Structures are given as structure tokens and as C-alpha cells.
Structure 1
Amino acid sequence: MDGITQNMDKSLEALKHNFAKVRTGRANANVLSDITVDYYGVATPITQVAAIKTPEAHLLVVEPWDKALVNAIVKAISGSDLGITPNTDGSIVRLPFPAPTEERRRELVKECRDLAEQAKVSIRNIRRDYNNKLDRDEELSEDEVRREQAKVQKHTDAYVAKVDELLRAKEAEVMEI
């Protein structure tokens, strides 16, 4: 059961990571985690070349340690799919996060539901793989296999409930004005 727990935990962590990247109108440094900047010929995540601060709920400030990177950071953020226009004064980059419209919030909720459904499918696939392994185990009797599969199903149900809980919290955060 340890292997199944570990794999299902990985699915939950992936879901949390994906939820963190969903823009809610609040400034969140996690939206920059996958954006890379050209740092002396090496693609480096912005989070490794700059300090990222949140002075207000709707503003992110990116302060590069090497001031020569300001234009590269602006270019990387502009080229990303964030949909935010960065402002710069030559030494820092400001990212204003406008509050999303009602329609955009509904789209974000739909996106979150899709991410949650992908996590549930991943969890069910783990259950299926584990059940198949039990079916092939020659040392277990049919009753033992059924008991183990019942335990696996309970485990799966618990993880699906955790996914639903995370989704409810994220939906509430997205719909909050």
C-alpha cells in the first residue's frame, strides 16, 4: 500500500502545483515559476535570478539581482501566456494583476475543474494498475485479492475526496472578488 500512497500523493502534489499557476486576480509568485529568462546563454527560471515580492494584493514586483536582466525578464514575461503586460523603470519589473471579469473567473473555474479531473483520472489509473498487479499475484487467494482491492478502493475514494476538497477551495478563491 505504500507504493500506491506515494503515487497518489504525487498526483495531489501535481494538482496543487497546477492550481498555483492558475491566475486568480491576486498576485502570486507561482505564476512565474515556469518562465525562464536567458541568463548569459542559459535558460534560467526567473525565480533564480530575481527577488519576487508582493507589495499589494494585485501587484508583483520582480527585482533582478543583475540589473542587466531587466529587459530579458520583460521579454520573457511578455512572451509567456500570462496575459500580463510588465512595466519597468529600468531596475525593477512591476506586474499588475487586474481583477478578472465574471466571465474570466468562470473560465478559470472550468480550467480548475479540468485540472482536478485529470488528477482524478491519474488516481484511478494508479488504482487500476495496482488492482491488475493483485490479479496477477499467484500467491493470493480470490478472497484475499477482493479484500485488497476493497482497501485500494477505499484509498482511492479518500484521495478523490482530497481532490474535490482542493477544487472547492480553489473555486472559492477564483470566484472571490
Structure 2
Amino acid sequence: MMAIVTLLIAPLAFSNGPARAVPRSRVPFSVCAARVSARPAYAVSMGPPTVKSVQKDVDDRMAKTIQALSISLATIRTGRANPAMLDRVSVEYFGALTPLNQMASVGTPTAQQLVIDPYDKSAIKDIERAITESDLGMMPSSDGNVIRLNVPPLTEDRRKEFAKQCKAFGEDAKVALRNIRRDAMESIKKMEKAAESPLGKDESADAQDNVDKAVKKFTKQIDETVAVKEKEIMKV
């Protein structure tokens, strides 16, 4: 069985816009768990949208965008052992690509070492090969029961590279916010023009203003989240 690693060349998980190819180093596997819906929740609801439902959808989707960003940033190395570092590794297991974290438990006995304990010991060689072929830059060592990974300290150039990657994740999250804002504004304007029970201009203006306030609030959270990770990476 040949093991390979994949970093999913796919749209970024929290993007709400059209599908676009993303460099493989920028698509962590784990963010799929926090995927943001491409369609507003009220778009598939039983009744027409209301100002309240639109605002709730905005808050929910933007919160999920922050959640997805946090998961993405967790996969970036900081020079210390962290099980999330392996979230981008998938192994070909019985003919299907399977996330490594679904095939084994991962521990951190020391700040510089990861220990991978496969549930199926016969898959150890496949897991080793997948790790070797990944972009982790670490060589696995196995005793037949567990796999050990020693986490080397980051060089200055590598730290800068990872810091740039953090900024890229942050920018993608901001694109998601803008797409959510666009959906909300379109819905509010449609309500304002509706033939039945049209939304008053003042109420429409207030609703749009609240959406913009939400964008500013979550944009600030993105900047703060990225800054914390960058500081963690650059700390020697």
C-alpha cells in the first residue's frame, strides 16, 4: 500500500466566494471541520428573510470564519511540538486518503517531540511514508509500535515564511467576511424593495449599518488572532 500526503488543492474552507485554487501549503486539512456555508442560512429557510434573521446569519457565519482561521493557524509550526501540526497529513489507507489524526493518537511527551500511536499497527509504514512526503520537514522514527517525530527549532527564514502564511490565512478570512457582508446587503436591499411589507429606508439603513459594524468587529478579531500567532512563531 503506497502512502501519500495531500494538502487538498481546494477552495479555502472559510471562503464564501467562487471556488479558486490555493497553493497547497496554504490549505490545512483540519479547517474542513469549520467550513462556512456558501449560502446564508435564511436562503434555505421556510419563510422570507427578516432583518433579525439576516443579522443572526451574519454573526453566525462570521464567528465560524474566526473559528476556521484559528484551526488553520494551529497547523503552522512554532518550534514546539503540537498535535495540530499533523492535521494536514493524510495517509492512503485501504485505498482511501484518511486523515492521520483519525488513524492514531498523537501525544507530546516533551516540548520538542511528537509520539504517534497508530490504532492499526500494520499501517505504521504507510504513516511514516506520508509524513516523510509531507512538507513538515521532519523524519519519522518507528520502533514498530509508535512513531516519534523530533521537532527541530525553526530558523529565522522559516519563522518569517510561517509568519507570512499567517497573514495569508488572515487575508482569506477577511475575504470571507466581505462575501458574507455582500450576501447580507443584497438581502436587506431586496427587503427594502419588496412589494409586500417593504422595509422602511431608515430601518434598511440601520440594518446595513449593523452589518458593517459586525464586519469591523470580526475584522479586528482576525487581526488580533493572526498577531498572536505571529508573535508565537517569531518568539525564539
> Would you say 1:160 and 2:219 are equivalent positions?
yes
Q: Give the corresponding residue for 1:174.
A: 233
Structure having the higher helix fraction is 1
> Would you say 1:59 and 2:59 are equivalent positions?
no
Deviation at 1:40, TM superposition (A): 3.3
Match of 1:12 among 46, 61, 66: 66
What do residues 33-72 of structure 1 show as CA deviations (whole Å, max 9, x unaligned)? 2322233334322222222110111110111132212111
> Would you say 1:80 and 2:134 are equivalent positions?
yes
1:80-99 to structure 2, matched below 5 A, reads 80-99=134-153
Q: In terms of mean alpha carbon deviation, does 138-147 or 53-62 score higher?
A: 138-147
- TM norm structure 2: 0.71
Deviation at 1:89, TM superposition (A): 2.2
What SS does the corresponding residue of 2:76 show, helix, strand or coil?
A: coil
Deviation at 1:91, TM superposition (A): 2.0
Deviation at 1:112, TM superposition (A): 0.2
Deviation at 1:7, TM superposition (A): 0.9
Q: Give the corresponding residue for 2:206.
A: 147
What do residues 107-153 of structure 1 show as CA deviations (whole Å, max 9, x unaligned)? 11111011101101111211122112111212112222111111111
What do residues 5-31 of structure 1 show as CA deviations (whole Å, max 9, x unaligned)? 111112111111110111111111112
Deviation at 1:164, TM superposition (A): 1.1
Q: Give the corresponding residue for 2:35.
A: none
What SS does the corresponding residue of 1:84 show, helix, strand or coil?
A: coil
Deviation at 1:3, TM superposition (A): 0.6
Q: Give the corresponding residue for 1:128.
A: 182
Match of 1:115 among 137, 151, 169: 169
- Aligned-residue Cα RMSD (Å) equals 1.4
- TM norm structure 1: 0.93
Gaps of 5+ in 2: 1-54
Q: Distance in 1 between matches of 2:113 and 2:82?
A: 9
Q: Distance in 1 between matches of 2:131 and 2:102?
A: 15
Deviation at 1:101, TM superposition (A): 0.9
Q: Give the corresponding residue for 2:13.
A: none
Q: Distance in 1 between matches of 2:184 and 2:204?
A: 11
> Would you say 1:30 and 2:84 are equivalent positions?
yes
Q: Give the corresponding residue for 2:31.
A: none
Q: Distance in 2 between matches of 1:42 and 1:130?
A: 39
Q: Distance in 2 between matches of 1:171 and 1:34?
A: 19
Deviation at 1:161, TM superposition (A): 0.9
Gaps of 5+ in 1: none
What SS does the corresponding residue of 1:26 show, helix, strand or coil?
A: coil
